[in-house]
Amino acid sequence: MRFLFTFDAQTGKLTANAAAAAKVATGERTGPRHLVFHPAKGVAYVDNEQGGSVTAYALDPKAGTLKPLQTVATLPRDFKGDNACAELRSHPSGKFLYVANRGHDSIACFTLDAEGRLTAAGQVATEKTPRSFDLDPSGKFLFAGGEASGKVAAYRIDPDTGGLKRLATYEVGRRPWWVTAVEMPAK
């Protein structure tokens, strides 16, 4: 179950929404971890930490409700080990979505259709235990931190397919837990 709240931008107060929760499919392992919105559609995406999946929800902004549209695995079918999803990010173009797999040690890639529905596009190996990653504001690069490796991997994002090509790996110190890409103003 995902709990829903309304937000008062003037006071910063959260209040339980009239429809207080979004349902998940019966028997579905979830453990919602992060939520992102499609940049142009009324769709929200939640990665399911315990379920190794991502769920797309139709967003009704007036009612403040989420209706499940689909759930898609973040792992290859033949993966047998332990895994927990971590970060997820929506590409600024609205064409791609990415989810970190801790255990499989990959970034799961998805394409998004005109309605915001997901199609799995495979996984790209990354640093051990990718807890956090981010996309640069232009959507050209993805940076993934390996909590267990002490490294950040940099990837170029293919603008047509959303595919990732590793460009470099950087030593950053013990347990990078958060990666944030920012655009610095030119001087």
Instruction: Concatenate the DSSP letters of all residues of 163-180 into one string.
Output: -EEEEEEEE--S------
**DSSP 8-state secondary structure symbol assigned to residue 74:** S
Residues 89-138 have pLDDT tens digits of 999 999 999 999 999 999 999 999 999 999 999 999 999 999 899 999 99
| Cα→Cα distances 184→13, 80, 137, 167, Å | 31, 42, 10, 21
Give residue 5's pLDDT: 82
Low-confidence ranges of the chain (pLDDT < 50): none
β-pairing, 84-90 with 96-102? antiparallel
Q: How far apart are CA 145 and CA 154, in angstroms?
A: 9
Q: Is residue 19 a contact partner of residue 63, using CB atoms and an 8 Å limit? A: yes
pLDDT confidence of residue 25: 55
d(CA 27, CA 154): 37
Q: What is the pLDDT of residue 23?
A: 67
Side-chain-facing half-sphere of 45: CA atoms under 13 Å:
32
Query: What top-level class would CATH report for the domain 30-171?
Result: mainly beta
Tally Cβ neighbours within 10 Å of residue 32.
18
pTM of the model: 0.89
Which among 129, 126, 74, 70 has a CA at the least distance from the CA of 98?
74
What is the rounded distance in angstroms from the CA atom of residue 12 to the CA atom of residue 179?
A: 25
Neighbours of 121 (CB within 10 A): 17
Which stretches of 64-179 are assigned E, i.e. beta strand?
A: 65-73, 84-90, 96-102, 106-112, 118-125, 130-135, 141-146, 151-157, 164-171
Q: What's the length of the chain?
A: 187
Q: In the chain, where are the structural domains located?
A: 30-171
